[in-house]
Structure 1
């Protein structure tokens, strides 16, 4: 995908003032519109719930919230003259890991704009619908192009491949570390530190459901950590699998990867959010990096900190690695440590944790663009765009 310094010119002269005048009002209605859209979509295409969309995210409203945020954010970025490259990349990686096809954008358009027209009523004039149709297809075309680039960069054309459970061991009272081996000779993609895969399994009723899991090791190893959610549809299935069981796994994706700079790196995590950080640490130790790395982790207790020995061992192997922890309900505070100068901060954990940490980092003088994050599931924050 070609980057441009500004994207406001992508919108026609006729569309720009209409989008500017209606963005705030549409943003206010988009949460309700999105819920109605998904109802229409799944009534017409129930097959999309089999292996594509998460029923759990539909039930909580996270998927609807993410859709609403992304479309309006895209429009606002264009009006501000900013190219939405970060937004496009983040969503494209997620879509690529799910096997979203170009044809599905037309299906989404049909039902989304039917929901918009029904919600806005007389306010959905021909001019308003035309302007936001322009926004939608600009967004969709950029996503399709980036998703195509991502797929074509893989060593195989498969959206999904079958992998066999080789090992499943408890990493804490609620987390399992699982390793998979390929079932055939499909070429295996090298994963970058910090990337994730989608894992697809049949739920209790036979309908396939998908979740994303960070890879604990870069390269061609497929190892993940799964935190059990007793009310979930995927994690209990994965926890119950025995060695030899087969699951479907996507190629690795994710735009939050280890950069090649020599700037100090701060990895700030909470709970199961330590998993992408471990991928970063594995990559750094394998390269014999002398980069300064500060790992900050918060957890409910020492015993519930999954993969703690692996995190600690990797930090010890780094020439300039340090580890700081906040356990037993203590809140992570950046003022408790001496942050390095000019760091890159990478966060992963619950949304409230990341919002708090981002505010602390900015207050400490770290540029907002140097505070990066990974979010499991739909991105309802879109902080970096």
Structure 2
């Protein structure tokens, strides 16, 4: 618990962070990565270049200060951060480095306003959170029998282009086995090596097939490269990684997961764009393990040409008598309606499945605006907030706290 002497300084920091947190995080990353270039192997340098990483930390700083007396609000965020840290191999040894440069950045940006007492209070608050994360990360590494940063060699046994923009990679161990267990909705980190192994980048991709399948599958959207950093890994996978190639990947992490798969409760899966990938893992797991479960699956895309994984949806429909599918497109050009109901315009499941929503477990994945709009509609329709789960990364993780 934060000490009584430190609390006033943290409370007073809320309006300051609202104004200066982005500047602080920009200075923090520049100074830390300048002093420790080896950490570039852990951070997403594409997000660094675009500013997403800095905005994410800025949002986290503000949310932490604004909610420091409300641990219940922060608990789900902490859990998700722990999984993200484990997915890139963060260890206790990294936290003192972060502390040094974060407090240094606060001092550099705020100048004389960053008194010794304020910096001491933030040091106390930082280590309160850091020690919690360290302990939870140790527990997660132990529970998954994972050495921090460990990667496994996986072989690409199949590559399928699901749409013009999304390719699936089927992965097994070198001796043809499933790489490990996972819960539907979780993700893995994939490594790409640069400059003969001198640099690397990790990217997280949701597993997109059934937990009962004899492989892991990731389905990767080709990102349009804005510069030499953004889109590097997805374009490498699309253009360079073929069947029989080997890649390095982590075990599965992530707290956005369908549990239990077998249930008498209806299940609603709502996605947009590449957010379909964890939903397919959930759908296909139910298809294989509980095909009698009532499932409502809705997906939004620009047009049928952008619709990925039509074969998965068709197979699920063939094997699940209680499955309903609704596809929402901005443009209906090329739509045929053979998989499920086809609609033009924004997703509106509250009109389509009004009664079912009140008794279902609901999962959301897609762009932030999509998830915010769907969640608000669901709440207004009477769905309990605790039954709505969503997969978010970066600044989006904290939008409900800001």
Distance 1:177 1:111, change over 3 A: same
Question: How many residue pairs are counted as aligned between the two chains?
Answer: 374
CA distance in 2, matches of 1:316, 1:262: 20
| Match runs of 1:219-368 below 5 Å | 219=212, 221-231=215-225, 232-239=231-238, 240-260=240-260, 262-329=264-331, 330-339=345-354, 340=356, 341-368=358-385
Structure-2-length-normalised TM-score: 0.87
Distance 1:139 1:331, change over 3 A: same
Query: CA-atom RMSD, angstroms?
Result: 2.2
Cα contact 1:86–1:384 (8 A) shared by 2: no
How big is the shift at 1:48? 1.3
- 3-state SS of paired residue (1:163): strand
- 3-state SS of paired residue (2:39): helix
CA distance in 1, matches of 2:359, 2:67: 27
Distance 1:210 1:132, change over 3 A: same
Distance 1:314 1:186, change over 3 A: closer
Cα contact 1:345–1:371 (8 A) shared by 2: yes
Q: 1:130-164 CA distances to partner (integer Å, 9 max, x unpaired)?
A: 11111111111111111111111124536211112
CA distance in 2, matches of 1:203, 1:378: 24
Cα contact 2:179–2:215 (8 A) shared by 1: no
CA distance in 2, matches of 1:251, 1:81: 29
Distance 1:84 1:315, change over 3 A: farther
In terms of mean alpha carbon deviation, does 146-155 or 364-373 score higher? 364-373
CA distance in 1, matches of 2:270, 2:111: 46
Cα contact 1:97–1:159 (8 A) shared by 2: no
Residue number in structure 1 paired with 2:183: 192
Cα contact 2:154–2:179 (8 A) shared by 1: no
Residue number in structure 1 paired with 2:32: 41
| Match runs of 1:120-159 below 5 Å | 120-157=110-147, 159=150
- 3-state SS of paired residue (1:380): helix
Cα contact 1:193–1:283 (8 A) shared by 2: yes
Structure-1-length-normalised TM-score: 0.90
- Whether 1:19 and 2:14 are equivalent positions in the alignment is no
CA distance in 2, matches of 1:236, 1:279: 23
Cα contact 1:312–1:323 (8 A) shared by 2: no
CA distance in 1, matches of 2:308, 2:179: 27
How big is the shift at 1:171? 0.8
- Whether 1:214 and 2:216 are equivalent positions in the alignment is no
- 3-state SS of paired residue (1:189): coil
Unpaired runs of 5+ in structure 1? 1-9
Distance 1:29 1:335, change over 3 A: same
How big is the shift at 1:300? 1.3
CA distance in 1, matches of 2:399, 2:321: 32
Residue number in structure 1 paired with 2:102: 112
In terms of mean alpha carbon deviation, does 77-86 or 352-361 score higher? 77-86
How big is the shift at 1:19? 1.3
